[in-house]
Protein backbone atom coordinates (compact mmCIF):
# COMPACT_ATOMS: atom_id res chain seq x y z
CA UNK A 1 0.00 0.00 0.00
CA UNK A 2 1.44 3.34 -1.03
CA UNK A 3 1.48 6.35 1.25
CA UNK A 4 1.97 10.01 0.64
CA UNK A 5 3.09 10.75 4.20
CA UNK A 6 5.35 7.90 5.29
CA UNK A 7 7.96 6.40 2.96
CA UNK A 8 7.30 2.94 1.66
CA UNK A 9 9.51 0.07 2.78
CA UNK A 10 12.47 0.05 0.48
CA UNK A 11 15.69 -1.93 0.25
CA UNK A 12 17.77 0.90 1.75
CA UNK A 13 15.49 1.10 4.77
CA UNK A 14 15.48 -2.67 5.21
CA UNK A 15 19.27 -2.62 4.97
CA UNK A 16 19.36 -0.06 7.78
CA UNK A 17 17.16 -2.28 9.95
CA UNK A 18 19.18 -5.39 9.11
CA UNK A 19 22.47 -3.56 9.58
CA UNK A 20 21.85 -2.85 13.24
CA UNK A 21 23.30 -5.61 15.41
CA UNK A 22 21.27 -7.64 17.86
CA UNK A 23 21.42 -6.18 21.29
CA UNK A 24 21.16 -7.65 24.69
CA UNK A 25 21.76 -5.95 27.99
CA UNK A 26 24.11 -7.21 30.65
CA UNK A 27 23.02 -7.93 34.16
CA UNK A 28 21.18 -5.10 35.82
CA UNK A 29 21.73 -4.27 39.43
CA UNK A 30 21.77 -1.32 41.74
CA UNK A 31 25.03 0.18 40.52
CA UNK A 32 25.30 3.93 40.13
CA UNK A 33 24.35 5.21 36.68
CA UNK A 34 27.22 5.16 34.22
CA UNK A 35 28.68 8.50 33.10
CA UNK A 36 26.81 9.96 30.12
CA UNK A 37 27.69 12.01 27.06
CA UNK A 38 25.69 13.97 24.54
CA UNK A 39 25.67 12.40 21.08
CA UNK A 40 24.78 14.65 18.14
CA UNK A 41 23.39 13.81 14.73
CA UNK A 42 22.06 15.95 11.90
CA UNK A 43 19.17 17.87 13.45
CA UNK A 44 19.05 16.00 16.79
CA UNK A 45 20.91 14.95 19.91
CA UNK A 46 20.53 12.44 22.73
CA UNK A 47 22.38 11.17 25.79
CA UNK A 48 24.13 7.79 25.84
CA UNK A 49 26.62 5.99 28.09
CA UNK A 50 30.01 7.73 27.83
CA UNK A 51 31.96 4.49 27.46
CA UNK A 52 29.93 3.09 24.55
CA UNK A 53 31.35 3.31 21.01
CA UNK A 54 29.82 5.75 18.52
CA UNK A 55 29.49 4.87 14.81
CA UNK A 56 28.25 7.36 12.23
CA UNK A 57 27.06 7.29 8.65
CA UNK A 58 25.23 10.00 6.68
CA UNK A 59 21.82 8.88 8.02
CA UNK A 60 22.58 6.86 11.17
CA UNK A 61 24.19 7.50 14.54
CA UNK A 62 24.64 4.30 16.52
CA UNK A 63 26.00 3.98 20.05
CA UNK A 64 26.92 0.50 21.26
CA UNK A 65 28.69 -1.61 23.81
CA UNK A 66 29.19 -5.19 22.74
CA UNK A 67 25.88 -5.96 21.15
CA UNK A 68 23.78 -3.41 23.09
CA UNK A 69 22.77 -0.57 20.79
CA UNK A 70 20.81 2.66 20.71
CA UNK A 71 20.51 4.45 17.38
CA UNK A 72 18.77 7.15 15.39
CA UNK A 73 18.21 6.88 11.64
CA UNK A 74 16.88 9.72 9.49
CA UNK A 75 14.63 8.99 6.50
CA UNK A 76 13.21 11.50 4.05
CA UNK A 77 9.43 11.80 3.80
CA UNK A 78 7.76 12.25 0.42
CA UNK A 79 5.71 15.16 1.77
CA UNK A 80 6.14 17.41 4.76
CA UNK A 81 4.48 16.15 7.93
CA UNK A 82 2.06 18.48 9.72
CA UNK A 83 0.47 17.73 13.12
CA UNK A 84 -3.00 17.81 11.52
CA UNK A 85 -2.01 14.67 9.59
CA UNK A 86 -1.41 12.63 12.77
CA UNK A 87 -4.68 10.64 12.64
CA UNK A 88 -3.88 9.55 9.08
CA UNK A 89 -0.23 8.78 9.82
CA UNK A 90 -0.74 6.55 12.89
CA UNK A 91 -2.17 3.59 10.90
CA UNK A 92 0.78 3.84 8.52
CA UNK A 93 3.24 3.80 11.41
CA UNK A 94 1.40 0.81 12.88
CA UNK A 95 1.85 -1.01 9.57
CA UNK A 96 5.55 -0.09 9.46
CA UNK A 97 6.05 -1.47 12.98
CA UNK A 98 4.19 -4.65 12.05
CA UNK A 99 6.54 -5.03 9.08
CA UNK A 100 9.59 -4.66 11.34
CA UNK A 101 8.12 -7.31 13.67
CA UNK A 102 7.54 -9.59 10.69
CA UNK A 103 11.16 -9.13 9.55
CA UNK A 104 12.30 -10.16 13.05
CA UNK A 105 9.84 -13.09 13.20
CA UNK A 106 8.40 -11.41 16.27
CA UNK A 107 5.30 -9.64 17.52
CA UNK A 108 4.38 -6.06 18.32
CA UNK A 109 3.93 -6.38 22.08
CA UNK A 110 2.81 -2.79 22.62
CA UNK A 111 2.07 0.40 20.72
CA UNK A 112 1.36 3.83 22.12
CA UNK A 113 1.40 7.50 21.32
CA UNK A 114 3.60 9.68 23.50
CA UNK A 115 5.52 12.95 23.35
CA UNK A 116 9.19 13.01 22.37
CA UNK A 117 11.04 16.31 21.98
CA UNK A 118 7.73 18.17 22.27
CA UNK A 119 6.13 16.27 19.38
CA UNK A 120 3.62 13.46 19.21
CA UNK A 121 5.49 10.24 18.54
CA UNK A 122 4.60 6.59 18.24
CA UNK A 123 6.50 3.95 20.28
CA UNK A 124 6.41 0.20 19.68
CA UNK A 125 7.94 -2.73 21.52
CA UNK A 126 8.71 -5.71 19.34
CA UNK A 127 9.51 -9.00 21.04
CA UNK A 128 11.35 -11.77 19.24
CA UNK A 129 13.82 -14.58 19.72
CA UNK A 130 17.27 -14.69 18.17
CA UNK A 131 20.10 -17.10 19.01
CA UNK A 132 18.03 -18.49 21.91
CA UNK A 133 17.72 -15.05 23.48
CA UNK A 134 14.45 -13.22 24.13
CA UNK A 135 14.99 -9.73 22.73
CA UNK A 136 12.99 -6.52 22.75
CA UNK A 137 13.36 -3.89 20.09
CA UNK A 138 11.84 -0.57 21.08
CA UNK A 139 11.29 1.81 18.19
CA UNK A 140 9.87 5.30 18.06
CA UNK A 141 8.84 7.31 15.04
CA UNK A 142 9.30 11.07 15.40
CA UNK A 143 8.22 13.18 12.42
CA UNK A 144 9.31 16.74 11.64
CA UNK A 145 8.80 18.43 8.30
CA UNK A 146 10.14 16.16 5.58
CA UNK A 147 12.15 13.95 7.97
CA UNK A 148 11.27 10.77 9.87
CA UNK A 149 13.51 10.02 12.85
CA UNK A 150 13.57 6.28 13.53
CA UNK A 151 14.74 6.00 17.15
CA UNK A 152 15.73 2.44 18.06
CA UNK A 153 17.13 0.43 20.92
CA UNK A 154 17.38 -3.30 21.54
CA UNK A 155 17.94 -5.20 24.73
CA UNK A 156 17.51 -8.52 26.45
CA UNK A 157 15.85 -8.77 29.82
CA UNK A 158 14.89 -5.81 31.94
CA UNK A 159 17.97 -3.58 31.59
CA UNK A 160 16.28 -0.72 29.76
CA UNK A 161 18.39 2.14 31.18
CA UNK A 162 20.09 3.11 27.89
CA UNK A 163 16.77 2.83 26.05
CA UNK A 164 14.90 4.97 28.58
CA UNK A 165 17.69 7.55 28.47
CA UNK A 166 17.64 7.65 24.65
CA UNK A 167 13.89 8.31 24.53
CA UNK A 168 13.93 10.81 27.42
CA UNK A 169 16.81 12.88 26.05
CA UNK A 170 16.20 12.71 22.28
CA UNK A 171 15.87 16.34 21.21
CA UNK A 172 15.32 17.90 17.81
CA UNK A 173 17.12 21.09 17.08
- The predicted-structure confidence for 108-136, as pLDDT tens digits, reads as follows 999 999 999 999 999 999 999 988 888 99
Q: 11-25+36-172 maps to which CATH number?
A: 3.40.1000.10
| pLDDT score, position 76 | 97
> What are the pLDDT tens digits along the chain (173 aa)?
334 444 444 444 443 333 332 232 333 444 566 799 999 999 999 999 999 999 999 999 999 987 689 999 999 999 999 999 999 999 999 999 999 999 999 999 999 999 999 999 999 999 999 888 889 999 999 999 999 999 999 998 778 999 999 999 999 98
Q: What are phi and psi of 26, to 5 degrees?
A: -75, -175
How many C-beta atoms lie closer than 10 Å to residue 102's C-beta?
13
Amino acid sequence: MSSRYVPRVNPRKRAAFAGVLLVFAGCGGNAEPAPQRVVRGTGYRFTAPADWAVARSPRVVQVSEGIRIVSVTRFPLVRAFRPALWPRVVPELDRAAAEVAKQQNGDVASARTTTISGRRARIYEIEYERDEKQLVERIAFVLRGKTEYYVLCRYEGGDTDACERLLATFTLG
